[in-house]
Amino acid sequence: MRQKPTVLAREIVATSRLFCVEELKLRFSNGVERTYERLVGKGAGYGAVMIVAMLDSEHAVLVEEYCGGTDEYELSLPKGLIEPGEDVLAAAERELKEEAGFGARQLEHLTELSLSPGYMSQKIQVVLATDLYEERLEGDEPEPMRVDKVNLRELAALAQNPQFSEGRALAALYLTRDLLSQRGFFQS
């Protein structure tokens, strides 16, 4: 196993309402020194959750929301921050109700994904939600989200949809499709 670099200095060099830019001065095991910058979330530590909510054995819930990063309305999976003191599954249940209007009788933590580990510290927990029922909670979204669905047999087409661009969501859908196929619930 490789030896991690030694942190020589660590400093927050910029902040916004949501993020901090942290500068890391590092020395690698071969003596080379480099300065890295990474984006860290303010108050990070609670994390975030992304939910693959299955309407039936083939169809997962998508939501459409305005995304400031792309300045577009995009389709993705329901997701959100984990509140202080809240566990992953409770956060998944709450976010699913707030964003898509569904609760789930079965919740299962699948994996943890990162977006850009070279530059960001944030990770997201992926949760599979099944046996859905209608229930809505008031959320913090500025406008109601449109709810859509995707057939797990059509993920290649979804990846070509100009309104769908989130790699973590696509990875979560493929992982879910493979898992359900292994369990015999879905024949790909």
- Residue 187's pLDDT is 63
Contacts of 163 (CB under 8 A, 6+ apart): 64, 72, 73, 74, 75
What is the C-alpha separation between 2 and 188, in angstroms, rounded? 38
Please give the residue that has the higher pLDDT: either 40 or 187. 40
Instruction: Tell me the mean pLDDT in the region 151-173.
Output: 95
pLDDT value at 127 more than 90: yes
- Residue 44's pLDDT is 47
pLDDT value at 46 more than 80: no
Sign of dihedral through CA atoms 121, 44, 139, 95? positive
What is the C-alpha separation between 110 and 131, in angstroms, rounded? 16
How much of the chain, in percent, has pLDDT values that exceed 70?
96
Instruction: Tell me the mean pLDDT in the region 86-114.
Output: 96
- Residue 114's pLDDT is 87
- Copy the structure tokens of residue 101: 């209007």
Instruction: Tell me the mean pLDDT in the region 75-96.
Output: 95
Instruction: Tell me the mean pLDDT in the region 119-138.
Output: 92
Instruction: Tell me the mean pLDDT in the region 6-15.
Output: 93
- Residue 108's pLDDT is 97
Q: What is the pTM of this model?
A: 0.86
pLDDT value at 42 more than 70: no
- Residue 122's pLDDT is 81
pLDDT, mean over the chain: 91
